[in-house]
Copies of this chain bind each other. A is one copy, B any other.
Amino acid sequence: MRNIKLKIAYDGSRYYGWQRLKDNDQTIQGKLESVISEMVQSHIEIIGSGRTDAGVHATGQITNFHTDSKMTIEEMHHYINRYLPQDIVVKEMVQASERFHSRYHVKSKKYTYYVWNHFTHSPFHRKYSYHLPEELDVPLMKEAAEKFIGTHDFIGFSSLKKTKKSTIRTIDELSISSQDYLMGFSFVGDGFLYNMIRIIMGSLVEIGLHEKELSHIDKVLEKNVRSKAGITMPPQGLFLEEVYY
């Protein structure tokens, strides 16, 4: 069997997230599987590097599937992009080694959360960022961001209830950049719990607005309980940008 690896971009606005749902094919995985299954005339299951939630976007989701189709990579690539909806695109496609698995072999991932920080919104970024009209204390947010770097139990910054699985994760990078009014918060880490980035973003924003103290982060990281007042930022600002193997 050939093992085909794909790098995918999608505008998540119209979708219920990555993962296929039983009675609803309005998912990224569902759309890909139906086009690819039709192409090779057999039922194909697509493995993704991980799920993305409803409304979250990707510029570098990695997936793979197995097939014994005789089509060339180029023919497949052309076919898939032709029949996918326009808001999902296969950017790259290669034949991977037999053993490559896009979820099990992930070393780390990069996500960026975009905030449009200006009094007026932008018609071009409104679906791809969170609009925050108030002024932010960026130096203080940078200080806060540093507290997340390293290995911590992040259960307090997730939507998980009790779980037997480990909730310890390592964040290697959390950098803040800006271009005009668009701020990007880039997270690189070995894995992220459910809603973890959107909850960390909520805390960073509350600190940037002086609605919470810097010490809030230490408290939640130490006590491992989800802060009652913590906001979960909306999905449309979040992009899965890179998966590293």
A89 within 8 A of B: yes
* Residue in contact with A10 in the complex, picked from B11, B90, B123, CB distance below 8 Å: B123
Chain B contacts for A122, CB-based, 8 A: 9, 89
The answer to whether A120 touches B86 (Cβ under 8 A) is no
The answer to whether A128 touches B124 (Cβ under 8 A) is yes
Chain B contacts for A88, CB-based, 8 A: 123
State which residues 1-25 of A face B: CB under 8 Å.
Answer: 9-11
A81 within 8 A of B: yes
The answer to whether B11 touches A124 (Cβ under 8 A) is yes
Chain B contacts for A107, CB-based, 8 A: none
The answer to whether B11 touches A123 (Cβ under 8 A) is yes
Q: Which residue of B lies closest to A119 (CB)?
A: B77
The answer to whether A123 touches B86 (Cβ under 8 A) is yes
State which residues 131-157 of A face B: CB under 8 Å.
Answer: none
Interface string of A99-129 (1 = CB under 8 A from B): 0000000000000000000001111101010
Q: Which of A10, A90, A120, A122 has the most CB of B within 10 A?
A: A120
A210 within 8 A of B: no
- Chain A interfacial positions (CB closer than 8 Å to B): 9-11, 57, 59, 81, 86-91, 120-124, 126, 128
Task: Identify 10 new A-B residue pairs, CB closer than 8 A, beyond the known A86-B123, A124-B128.
Answer: A9-B122, A9-B124, A11-B124, A57-B123, A57-B124, A59-B124, A81-B121, A88-B123, A89-B120, A89-B122
Interface CB pairs A-B, < 8 A, 10: A9-B122, A9-B123, A10-B123, A57-B123, A57-B124, A81-B120, A81-B121, A86-B121, A86-B123, A87-B123
In the A-B complex, the 10 residue pairs with the smallest Cβ-Cβ separation, listed nearest first, are A11-B123, A87-B123, A89-B120, A91-B120, A89-B123, A9-B123, A10-B123, A89-B121, A86-B126, A81-B120
